Amino acid sequence: MSKRDFILDPIEAAWIFDKAYKKQRHRIATTIEALMLAEPHQDPEVSLEEQHELRELLVSVLDELEPIELWMINALLFEKLSLREVQHILGIPKTTVARKRDKIFEKLRKKLENNPKIKEYLNGNTNTP
């Protein structure tokens, strides 16, 4: 086949599809699929269903925060602002920013640690009904 020939037969192009498929990581959709694909004596990966449930739990807890607390978490974790930058924006000392950050994390931890879904995820219990 010369450089300018086009592959018209799908059988001739099968190697291209195989190579592309091998590079693509399969996303596990359900808990059952995660269990079926897990190696013997290995923990199954977290399925998309479980990821969605965990995200919804986290979002519901974040919604319970005060607006300034939510702003601080967003600025420090997602916007990657330093304590000093947040200090200048809010006009409060850096140590106060750090203490407030720690209190917010403690508040989130207390709300999340008693949730049965979170406990199940952290302990590795994958009991499916």
The 10s digit of each residue's pLDDT in 25-68 is 666 666 677 666 767 777 666 667 777 888 888 888 889 999 99
Three-class DSSP category at 56: helix
Q: Is the pLDDT of residue 106 over 50?
A: yes
The 10s digit of each residue's pLDDT in 1-26 is 555 565 566 666 666 666 665 665 66
Q: Cα dist. 12→1, 8, 15, 89, 114 in Å? A: 11, 8, 7, 62, 57
